[in-house]
Structure 1
Amino acid sequence: MPTQRFAVFAAFALNGIVFGSWAARVPALADRIGATEGSLGLALLGGSIGLAATAPLAARLCVAVGARAVLLASALLGALVLPAIGLVGSPLQLGAVLLVVGALNAALDVSMNLSAVTVIRATGRALMPRFHAGFSVGGLIGSLGAAAAASADWTPLRHFLVATAACLLLLAWIARAVPGAAPDRGARHDDSGGSPLRRPVLWLLAAVALCSAIAEGASADWSALFLVTERGVGDGAAAIAYAAFSTAMAAARLLGEPVQRRLGPHRLLQLGALVAASGLALAVLVPLPAAGFGGFALAGLGLAFAFPVVMDLAGEAGRRADGGGGEREIGLVTTIAYTGFLAGPPLVGGIAQASSLTTSLGLVAVVVALTAPLALLARRARDREVTRGEASPTRS
């Protein structure tokens, strides 16, 4: 049987496999249902809405039944609903199915982060970036499978049925090893730490995640177009920009544990913000294709730790005396971060329409740079909470 640590990594990878499988077949799906760019954009928005709307509900469900149960159920249903994407006959149907896919993805996202927190607490190691690298690995596997299926002229439905079977086999293998038992019934009503909505440290962490999500979404969706329209690079070569961004992010997450241990989470967030902002600034200020490629790679390197480290800190902020907790805190931060993924790319497009893509991505560099002072403020807010907690004998 696999270890708990591997089971959590595999859960992140499974999430990435499902996403990479359908996202890479969007062109074939659009052609099959006759979607225009506008109708396809609205259909894809369904997945983002499902993500943002379900995250807080998923956190409450994890409190009620435990992260392990939510993880297994959402992973199972997420894999089973994948073939439904291959059966849609219109953009409206695609949007409706993606709404369900997004909701299940949110439940899996929150629960797998909580399971990751369980392993981190048990081992005392800074493993969250490595777990998040699992999603990148899974996304690569899913996209490569999609490329192979497209090359073999498989329909999306046939491809998704095979992908579902592979996901179910992986889930069956790791199911017994997934950590995160249901919390104690009395602990579910423990509000000693106060509502997450009244804790400045969580809003500051959420702001870090929001700014980072905007930058990550902008880099993913606009890097290739920026190099084509602003730097005169061909479509094929421009695609390398996102590959460089993703590769740098995955490598940093896989190898970043000693860096986080040495610098600490808050200093790592600050350093990452400066690296990401510098990378985006390099891409937009230096009018050379090489600067664009290198700049987006630096952006991936700098943003690699933002989301996983924030999840780690949010979980720690909700830790109870019995060793559990963190569900509501991770749910709050995740919900706000998803609004960044939802609003970031169209916001960049709107600014680019009014000015230029260079100006728009330059403003994104400023946004991600703001996460450095936000991380500093989050550390100070945490220290104030710790001081108040030590001064109050009633606080657990």
Structure 2
Amino acid sequence: MATWGPRMPSIRADLGLDNAGIGIVLSGVTVGSIVGLVASSALLSWLGSRAAIRTMLWLIAAGVAAIAVGAGLLHSVIFTAVAFAILGFGIGSLDVMINVDGAAVERAIGKTLMPLMHAGWSAGAVVGAGLGALCALVDLDYQWQFLGEAVIIAIGITIAARYLPARLADDVPDDRPPLKDRVIGWLKGWTQLRLLLIGLVMLGVELGEGSANNWLTLAVRDGHDKTDAVAAAFFTVFAIGETAARVFGGPLVDRIGRVMTIRLTTALGILGLLFFILGDHAWLILIGVVLWAVGVSMGFPLGMSAAADSGPNPAARVSVVASIGYVANLAGPPVVGFLSRSFGLLDALWLIVILLAVGFAAAGSLRTAR
């Protein structure tokens, strides 16, 4: 997911689009991700966890390569938009599959491991963005970067997939219900109060994470009148802080439980955003960035775990809450941007404070099922 961000100026130039046009092309990721989320449960049942995860990562590699061909070689807007949709489908499906599988491993081992697994995602985002920035710095054309990363992804998953569990812990029986009944069961998940409350927790933290990825540097530069270098450094601190919180968060969850962990981290996130929005000094703003990162670090992995063990058909349950998280992560930052036009960027971040407070109140929904 960190592949294309640093190279968007070059992609936009090769496609001959303005910001509005490139936004439409990127909407393929959103559409593809939502379709992938819906299809993930059926694919997981059909292929089994190991084959499904491997297939989706191969699809992601193909999507990255297709973007390189469509934008860098063919300069085709339609081809590139379809490539982004393919990539989004793979990302959306994989997100459910890997979290269901991770939750099954977590239950089998009896320790909280999901935050550590999600730390891998955060670290990958840092490394991926760094690779993109480095390739841009040395003036390597993005199409060759993308093709090289596609090969690395394909080879890496071919090797790593051998060590994934072959089946889910709760194997799907051969006489599973027809597809129509399974779709109805997925739709019923949207009527279950506990899943919706878990989704509320994820709504706040994912809006906070997505907004940091999109707006933190601009808020530091424009809202607090800092240099580009300082803004970039603050974003790096955010990424490192989120990764570190996830690495060390598992033992904390085992000690105090999911509910108290979410309440503690969201409270710290609220405090951090207050420092960030209202702070005048660089050191206070930096503390705010660190606390902001901690505040949004645990909601998504713990929400996935809570959804997976909340009842039967964990893939469908994870799909429901993941859909809410995706909407917040992908659609929330444009809402912040829209609010910033009327209230200013810093004041627009009060929306995150409000939703983190809602997540704090709804944290009881993550309680481990007896």
Scaled by the length of structure 2, the TM-score of the pair is: 0.90
Local SS of the residue matching 2:111: coil
Contact 1:136 1:250 in 2 (8 A): yes
Aligned match of 2:293 in 293, 300, 312? 300
Post-superposition Cα deviations, 1:344-370, rounded to whole Å, max 9, x if no partner, equal 111101111111112211232121121
The gaps in structure 2 that reach 5 residues or longer are none
Match of 2:82 in 1: 96
Post-superposition Cα deviations, 1:102-138, rounded to whole Å, max 9, x if no partner, equal 1110111111111111211211110000000111222
Matches within 5 A, 1:122-137: 122-137=108-123
Contact 1:68 1:111 in 2 (8 A): no
Aligned match of 1:226 in 194, 219, 242? 219
4+ residue runs of structure 1 moved beyond 3 angstroms? 90-93, 186-191
Local SS of the residue matching 1:363: helix
Q: Does 1:268 align with 2:261?
A: yes
* 1:343 to partner: Cα distance: 1.7
Q: Measured at CA, do residues 187 and 216 of structure 1 come closer, stay the same or move farther in structure 2, by a change above 3 Å? A: farther
Task: Find the aligned partners of 2:45 and 2:199 in 1 and give their Cα distance.
Answer: 20
Task: Find the aligned partners of 2:122 and 2:11 in 1 and give their Cα distance.
Answer: 23
Matches within 5 A, 1:365-384: 365-377=353-365, 379=367
Aligned match of 1:250 in 238, 243, 252? 243
Aligned match of 2:124 in 134, 138, 149? 138
Post-superposition Cα deviations, 1:156-188, rounded to whole Å, max 9, x if no partner, equal 121112112211221121122111516332574
Task: Find the aligned partners of 2:95 and 2:68 in 1 and give their Cα distance.
Answer: 23
Contact 2:205 2:297 in 1 (8 A): no
Contact 1:133 1:254 in 2 (8 A): yes
Q: Does 1:290 align with 2:302?
A: no
Amino acid aligned to 2:287: G
Contact 2:100 2:314 in 1 (8 A): yes
Task: Find the aligned partners of 1:50 and 1:240 in 2 and give their Cα distance.
Answer: 32
Task: Find the aligned partners of 2:39 and 2:222 in 1 and give their Cα distance.
Answer: 41
Scaled by the length of structure 1, the TM-score of the pair is: 0.85
* 1:300 to partner: Cα distance: 0.7
Task: Find the aligned partners of 1:217 and 1:60 in 2 and give their Cα distance.
Answer: 28
Local SS of the residue matching 2:280: coil
* 1:204 to partner: Cα distance: 0.6
Post-superposition Cα deviations, 1:29-87, rounded to whole Å, max 9, x if no partner, equal 12222221221222222212221232122123213332222211000111122121112
Local SS of the residue matching 2:3: helix
Task: Find the aligned partners of 2:160 and 2:299 in 1 and give their Cα distance.
Answer: 27
Amino acid aligned to 1:334: A
Task: Find the aligned partners of 1:137 and 1:378 in 2 and give their Cα distance.
Answer: 25
Task: Find the aligned partners of 1:24 and 1:274 in 2 and give their Cα distance.
Answer: 32
* 1:311 to partner: Cα distance: 0.3
Task: Find the aligned partners of 2:12 and 2:285 in 1 and give their Cα distance.
Answer: 30
Match of 1:392 in 2: none
* 1:334 to partner: Cα distance: 0.6
Local SS of the residue matching 1:121: helix
The gaps in structure 1 that reach 5 residues or longer are 1-18, 387-396
Local SS of the residue matching 1:24: helix
Contact 2:258 2:366 in 1 (8 A): no
Match of 1:333 in 2: 321
Matches within 5 A, 1:159-178: 159-178=145-164
Local SS of the residue matching 1:126: coil
Task: Find the aligned partners of 2:240 and 2:33 in 1 and give their Cα distance.
Answer: 25
Q: Measured at CA, do residues 254 and 286 of structure 1 come closer, stay the same or move farther in structure 2, by a change above 3 Å? A: same
Task: Find the aligned partners of 1:343 and 1:266 in 2 and give their Cα distance.
Answer: 26
Q: Does 1:20 align with 2:2?
A: yes
Match of 2:16 in 1: 34
Match of 1:5 in 2: none
What RMSD over aligned residues (CA atoms) do the two structures have, in Å? 2.1
Match of 2:36 in 1: 54
Task: Find the aligned partners of 2:50 and 2:214 in 1 and give their Cα distance.
Answer: 33
Contact 1:72 1:175 in 2 (8 A): yes
Contact 1:71 1:112 in 2 (8 A): yes
Amino acid aligned to 1:46: G
Contact 2:7 2:132 in 1 (8 A): yes
Match of 2:91 in 1: 105
Task: Find the aligned partners of 2:143 and 2:93 in 1 and give their Cα distance.
Answer: 24
Moved more, 358-367 or 340-349: 358-367
Aligned match of 1:70 in 28, 32, 52? 52
Contact 2:308 2:318 in 1 (8 A): yes
Task: Find the aligned partners of 1:331 and 1:241 in 2 and give their Cα distance.
Answer: 33
Match of 1:6 in 2: none
Q: Measured at CA, do residues 363 and 143 of structure 1 come closer, stay the same or move farther in structure 2, by a change above 3 Å? A: closer
Amino acid aligned to 2:12: A
Task: Find the aligned partners of 2:365 and 2:309 in 1 and give their Cα distance.
Answer: 17
